[in-house]
Amino acid sequence: MRDDNGKTILLVEDEAIIALAGKRTLEAYGYAVVSASSGEKAVIAAAGDSRIDLVLMDINLGDGIDGTEAAARILRERELPLVFLSSYTERETVEKTEGITSYGYIVKNSGETVLVAGIRMAFKLFEAKKKIQAQSDDMEAAYEEMQVANDDLLQTIEELNAANAMVDESSRLLSLSEKKYRELVESSHDIIYILSPDGIFTFVSPAWTRVLGHPLSSVIGQPFELFVHPDDVPACRACLSEAIESGRRIEDIEYRARHLDGSWRRHSSSAGPLRDESGSVIGFEGLAVDITERHLALERLRTSEERYLKAQRIGRVGNWEYDLRTDSFWGSDEAKRIYGFDPDEEGFSPDEVESRILERDRVHQALIDLIEHDAVYNLEFEIRPKGQERTRIIWSVAELHRSERGEPTLVTGVVQDITERALAQRNLIASETKYRKLIDVLPLVGARDAPGYTNG
């Protein structure tokens, strides 16, 4: 029976006739045979010919290394099945082969059946060993992978424990943050609110009730228009549309909000778009501040200022300031009118102001004396207002202000147009003088109380 398996056997035999007979026998069973007549040649052949699948090794090879040494050298370089073929059956000869990995020991002249069966068994044992080795390698690799997986699992467990700890800490901080946020919202004096895209209140803070009186239950679910003055609704709607279009927060939206008692409160609000994860607008969040008192205070201030300016116009009284740090004059509207300046102009140089004064040197010296010596500044002098030919008589008083270090910084003063009063006073003085002179000459004049008689 042929073994048509294409396997190649290295036959190591020093006796040529035996080698030739063995080669023919093996070839008859379908094996390719490579022959070597010495241990050295066998080592070289096994190392250089990759076709060799099995070594059939004689032990006694004459001169040179014997079969056991040659086998040991070959197996150090290659892993392949090796079968000893020898005529020796002595115990000591067989024991020499026990330290070498071999797949059989065949006694020469046992017959070709025994020889071929031994070779077949050697191939089967070698294949079985390779499978076992492969399985062992797979098991070892699997064990190493399991060890790595186990290490990864342990690391994952540690990371999971750490992550759980972080989650617990994050949950604690989130709970604390939510508590603080809730306390902040509930204690805020200003109204925090959230509107749906169509302007329906979905949330309002408790400040709403404190500021506007309405219970929260009567506000949530209602459109904001119910609580805003009708005249202000379009502006509020426009601001919400702008917030959507620009994607930014809109500040300082002023409107009137309806109080539960029916009165209107002034509010200033800021609002910005709320977006979901996709970026779509899902509503508005905002903050509303009650500015009623501030608005009333501004109105009172505006009224007071208007009255003050009116009083200045009626009394022809203006106020002025000279800033020593910037070397510039400031004047109220009435002060500017007195000097002929445009009320819309801001800031004047000392030369611009003093150029309108007829007695410039005297007035300037009075200002210097005030600054340098704290002298009294209380003057009456004539000016020629800008763009006018007629002169005016004015009266001015001023005081000096100093910094914390005592340095002169500012002069503030009052100026009044007293032209009519001064002229009237001058006319009165002239009239008094005239009548006094007349009275002085009266004793020289005689009065007649009858024809031809004189009372003297």
d(CA 187, CA 206): 8
Mean pLDDT along residues 274-298: 87
Q: In this structure, are residues 346 and 319 in contact, taking their beta carbons and an 8 Å threshold?
A: no
What is the rounded distance in angstroms from the CA atom of residue 138 to the CA atom of residue 152? 20
281 and 315 share one domain: no
Q: Is the pLDDT of residue 367 over 80?
A: yes
Q: Taking the CB of residue 155, how many other CB atoms lie within 10 A of it?
A: 10
For residue 368, what are the β-bridge partners?
Answer: none
pLDDT score of 413: 94
Q: Which of these ranges, 68-72, 180-184, 383-387, has the smallest mean pLDDT?
A: 180-184
Residues 405, 337 share a domain: yes
DSSP letters, 11-56, are EE-SSHHHHHHHHHHHHHTT-EEEEESSHHHHHHHHHH-TTEEEEE
Quick check: is 110 in a domain? yes
Residue 427 has pLDDT above 90, yes or no: no
In a domain, 169, yes or no: no
Q: Sheet of 328-331: strands edge to edge?
A: 328-331, 317-323, 408-417, 392-402, 377-383
In a domain, 1, yes or no: no
Rg of the chain (C-alpha set):
62
318 in the same domain as 405: yes
- Give the bridge partners for 400, in sequence order: 411
How many domains is the chain partitioned into structurally? 3
What's the whole-number mean pLDDT along residues 268-283?
Answer: 88
List the CATH number of the domain containing 239: 3.30.450.20
| pLDDT at 327 exceeding the cut of 80 | yes
Same domain, 276 and 314: no
Nearest Cα neighbor of 56 from 92, 23, 16 is: 23
Domain range holding 263? 188-290
* The model scores a pTM over 0.75: no
The pLDDT score that the predictor gives to residue 322 is 93
Same domain, 244 and 326: no
Specify if 141 maps to a domain.
Answer: no
Whole-number percent of the chain with pLDDT over 90:
43
Q: Do 351 and 413 have their domain in common?
A: yes
Same domain, residue pair 322 and 380: yes
Least confident piece of the model among 25-39, 221-235, 342-356: 342-356
d(CA 199, CA 313): 50
Give the pLDDT band (50/70/90) at residue 35. Answer: very high
What mean pLDDT is predicted for residues 389-399?
94
Given a cut of 50, whether residue 456 has pLDDT beyond it is: no
- Is residue 334 situated within a structural domain? yes
CATH number where 59 lies: 3.40.50.2300
What is the average pLDDT across 191-198?
92
Phi first, then psi, for residue 270 (nearest 5°) are -125, 145
User: Given a cut of 70, is residue 179 above it in pLDDT?
Assistant: no
Give the domain-ending residue among 99, 117, 132: 132
Starting at the edge strand found earlier in the chain, the sheet holding 8-12 runs 32-36, 8-12, 52-57, 82-86, 105-107
Nearest alpha carbon to residue 282 among 194, 216, 203: 194
> Which of 290, 322, 355 finishes a domain?
290
Per residue in 95-117, pLDDT (tens digit) is 777 777 777 788 888 888 888 99
Quick: pLDDT tens for 119-165. 899 899 888 888 988 888 888 888 888 788 777 777 877 887 777 77
Note whether 103 and 38 are same-domain residues: yes
Region 270-298: mean pLDDT is 88
The answer to whether residues 196 and 286 belong to one domain is: yes
Q: What percent of the chain has pLDDT over 70?
A: 86
Give SS3 for 412: strand
CA distances from 398 to 235, 353, 369, 417 (A): 49, 15, 12, 15
The whole-number average pLDDT for the span 210-235 is 94
H or E element: which one contains 364? Answer: helix 360-373
Do 317 and 394 have their domain in common? yes
pLDDT exceeds 80 at position 72? yes
Q: How does the average pLDDT of the chain come out, rounded?
A: 84
Band (pLDDT 50/70/90 cuts) for residue 29 is very high
Q: Which of 221, 222, 211, 295 is nearest to 257 (CA)?
A: 211
* Cα–Cα dist 9/103, whole Å: 14
Same domain, 53 and 103: yes
Mean pLDDT over 293-320 rounds to 72
Whether the predicted pLDDT of 92 surpasses 90: no
CA-wise closest residue to 418 among 365, 370, 447, 382: 382
- Output the pLDDT for position 449: 52
Question: 28 and 4 in contact (C-beta within 8 Å)?
Answer: no
